[in-house]
Chains A and B, each alone.
Chain A
Amino acid sequence: MHAKPMEPAIDRAVGADLRAEPLPPLDRRSFLVSATSAGLFCGVRALAPSPILAQASALGQSQDDDRFAVEARFYKKLANRKIQCQLCPRGCTVGDRERGYCGVRENRSGIYYTLVHSRVCAAHIDPIEKKPLFHYLPGTQAFSIATAGCNVNCKFCQNWEISQSRPEQVPADYAPPQRIADLAAQSRCPTIAYTYSEPVVFSEFLMDVADAAHRQGIRSVVVSNGYMQEDALRQAYGKMDAVKIDLKSFSEAFYRNVVTGELKPVLDTLVTLRKMNKWTEIVYLTIPTLNDGSAELRGLAQWIKGNLGPDVPLHFTQFHPEYLLRNLPITAIPILERAREIALAEGLHYVYIGNVPGHPAENTYCPQCKRAVVERFGMEVRHNYLHRGACPYCKQAIPGVWS
């Protein structure tokens, strides 16, 4: 699963927001987070099923709940009731009554089904900066949703409780695409974000929600690991208005050993998104000793500049011990600063440091006059000085989706 930036101690649940009801009681995790963070931004998210999406579901949903089973769009049938998935580069060959690596797609008598269509296990209203997307409608809110499942198994996953579970193991609500679009409109969110777990695995749902939302003038963005076959990428993410890709390392060995995936297809995805002219930002979760070597970071920056151009925002974010990778410390800030310096020295224009609230590298600086044009604190935009997408001081155009 992709890593995500840190979230506020108490995330604002959409249901509570819309119905003007009190926030739900704190669970153990939220309580501990609140108790330890004392109002500061902290390193733990507060994911929970939305109280607004129908009735809350109990743990232990039925494995065969047909409301959520929709025939998948990216697979081919093989002999002997087998199928081959064509969604992600794994290309799982799946026998009858079995599931693919993601755990959310099942072969039933030779027909492959997604089991997570309209099966929403997390829904929140987040600042767009939390994705993070810094060059896309700054200061706006995103109606953010997820289903269970992921097509990789990162040892540092921060949302493993949902990403590494099967759909029936996670409380979820039935929320069909039009319902999501309506809720986003009611909450005055200009954007729906597909995030938290791995949207690759709920591509069909994502596509249908994006269509419903676009009909109401609401845009869509996706937060993804980019581990996807090209045809599926073009069809599914072709419906997105912006994309954030978690590039987890610039090393095949890291992808193989820590992510259980491959680097090359992710790089291919980034190039394809560039060809599709999709606004894309990259997050690089910087893990001490594992992917923070200067040579690797330099190679990363050179590759981005050479293949995507210097204007792609690159976010170096702070790692926190989680899931199966608890033996390493939080990334020291000087490591993040060194990474940023390397990327800037290689010619990238927009390099940020994430998960470190108050750090000056949260701001956007004009690459020409070097002055701050968007000032941020954590996920909050303090000042947006941009004028028609350009630096107000030197008129340098700043790339992004600003309106």
Chain B
Amino acid sequence: MHAAPTTRRTFLHGIVAAGLASGIPAMKVEADAPARSRVVYGEDPLLRGFDPGGAIDAKRLLSLLDQAMQRLFQASDPVQPWADIVRPGQRVALKVNALGGRGLSTHPALVDAICTRLQSAGIAARQIVVFDRDTQELARAGFHIAESDGIQCYGTDRAGFTEDLYSYGSVGSRLSRILTERCDVLINLPVLKDHDGAGISMALKNMYGVIHNPNKYHPNGCDPYIADLNLLPEIRARLRLHICDALTACYEGGPAFKPEFTWRPNALIVSQDPVALDTVGWQTIEAKRAEKGLKTLEAEARPPRYLTTAADPDHRLGCHDLRHIDVVRITAHH
């Protein structure tokens, strides 16, 4: 019979038992309660005023961001959460998703709000870079391209990719030099959307935008490629926070913008656990699909299988079991 593999927990238990047997005082071991992931789903029905098609109110958006972040970090003031994840002097990169043009990309207004708070936490404007794979795509999504003073905004096409390959499991890729050379802390700003291959495209899938060969990793619903990619130390060591832009979202026909399949939840989904965030986002999309009379992603043979891989013992990128995720739903108050 094979012995069960040793986990960190069983290893610690073994240490404790050995200590008891030898008379050495044992250290205290916590009970077996699994760690819980936290996801905050914050919405503001009046984010665009009383006109559902209206412009986003920047003040309300900043307030929504603050309230979501404070709940996630259980902080009493709006700057504290940011001070927990960045330090003055660090270079911060914001990875947006600009594939969907103005209709279905990370909103520049959200990026503005985040930059405001980063600066409040002591990050100089010139130390912030907003990026995705291509500068023209960023411009089409409404971002102001800047490479000199102040907050930087440009694509990897301007910075280039590493000469070296970075490899784990099924993935071998060059990485954006913005990630490897101009960033100490990475903040992930995906969009809540359906994806014709992966099922959904949110936090984990958004990292396809930092590699040179994403087209190689779409077979089999992007599984195990998404999980393997997110395990690269160059990504994982920098990634501190995920803020999913669900101000406008897509429940079918993604990842490109198709207005007939978008809706406006006026929400942000915030977490430090990308697997949990994607799991909650998936449920949000499924709920909308059901409301529209569409089949589930499972029935369409494209459930986001990569979530199971991302949570497995070989990856441990987060939690995909809703029973172990604290989903905190808030409606912003003003």
> Which A residues have a C-beta under 8 Å from some C-beta of B?
59-64, 80-82, 93, 95-103, 153, 155, 164-166, 168-169, 260, 323-324
> Apart from A59-B160, A62-B157, A97-B100, what 14 extra A-B contacts exist at CB < 8 Å?
A62-B136, A81-B258, A96-B256, A97-B99, A98-B255, A98-B256, A100-B215, A101-B219, A102-B215, A153-B216, A166-B212, A166-B213, A168-B157, A323-B172
In the complex the two chains form, what is the Cα distance from A234 to B213 in whole Å? 29
Within 8 A of A (CB), among B163-180: 165, 167, 172
The answer to whether the Cβ of B196 comes within 8 Å of any Cβ in the partner chain is: yes
* B215 in contact with A63 (CB, 8 Å): no
A64 adjacent to B255 (CB under 8 Å): no
- Residues of chain B lying within 8 A (CB to CB) of residue A103: 213, 215-216
Summed over the interface, the residue pairs from A and B with CB atoms below 8 Å come to a total of 65
Residues from chain A with a CB closer than 8 A to the CB of B158 are 60
Q: Once the chains bind, are B215 and A166 in contact (CB under 8 Å)?
A: yes
- Map CB proximity to A onto B199-226 as digits: 1 under 8 Å, 0 otherwise: 0000000000000110110110000000
Top 5 nearest A-B pairs by Cβ distance? Answer: A103-B215, A96-B256, A97-B256, A60-B157, A95-B196
Q: Do A324 and B134 form a contact, CB below 8 Å, given A97-B99, A101-B218? A: no
With a cutoff of 8 Å between Cβ atoms, the chain B residues found around residue A82 in the complex are: 196
Docked CA distance A80–B256 (Å): 11
Q: Are the CB atoms of A164 and B136 closer together than 8 Å?
A: no
Q: Which residue of B lies closest to A103 (CB)?
A: B215
- Name which residue of chain A comes closest to B219, CB basis: A101
- B196 near A63 with CB under 8 A, answer no
User: Would A63 and B137 count as touching, CB distance under 8 A?
Assistant: yes
Please, how many angstroms separate the alpha-carbon atoms of A63 and B156 in the complex? 11
Contact with A along B126-160 (1 / 0, CB 8 A): 00000000101100000000000000000001101
Residues 85 to 108 of chain B near chain A (Cβ within 8 Å): 99-100
| CB pairs A–B below 8 angstroms (20 shown) | A60-B157, A60-B158, A61-B157, A63-B136, A63-B137, A64-B136, A80-B253, A95-B197, A95-B254, A97-B100, A97-B255, A98-B256, A99-B215, A101-B215, A101-B218, A103-B213, A155-B172, A164-B213, A165-B213, A166-B215
Nearest A residue (CB) for B260:
A80
* Interface size, B (range): 20 to 34
Given contacts A62-B136, A63-B157, A95-B255, contact A323 B99 (CB under 8 A): no
User: Judging by beta carbons under 8 Å apart, are A60 and B136 in contact?
Assistant: no
In the complex, whether B41 has a CB less than 8 A from a CB of chain A is no
Known contacts A97-B99, A97-B256, A323-B165; is-contact A165 B216 (Cβ 8 Å): no
Nearest opposing residue in chain B for A99, CB measure = B215
In angstroms, Cα B255 to Cα A244, docked, is 39
Q: Which residue of chain B is the closest to A109 with respect to CB atoms? A: B256
Q: List residues of chain A with CB within 8 A of the CB of B167.
A: 324
A169 to B155, CA, bound (A): 12
Chain A residues with CB under 8 A of B172: 155, 323-324
Q: Is the CB of A164 within 8 A of B216?
A: yes
Q: What residue of chain A has the Cβ atom nearest to residue B157's Cβ?
A: A60
Does the CB pair A165–B165 fall under 8 Å? no
Chain B residues near A98 (CB-CB < 8 A): 196, 255-256
Query: Is B282 positioned at the interface, with any CB of A under 8 Å from its CB?
Result: no
How far is it, in angstroms, between the C-alpha of A256 and the C-alpha of B308 when the chains are bound? 23
Give the residues in chain B near A102, CB-CB below 8 Å.
215
Closest B residue by C-beta to A168: B157
Within the assembled complex, what's the spacing in Å between the Cα atoms of A291 and B161?
A: 33
For B213, list chain A residues within 8 Å (CB): 103, 164-166
Complex CA distance for A80 and B254, rounded to whole angstroms = 10
Residues of B within 8 A of A99 (CB): 215
Which chain B residues border A164 with CB–CB below 8 Å? 212-213, 216
Which residues of B sit under 8 angstroms from A168, Cβ to Cβ? 134, 157
B216:A101 contact, CB within 8 angstroms: yes
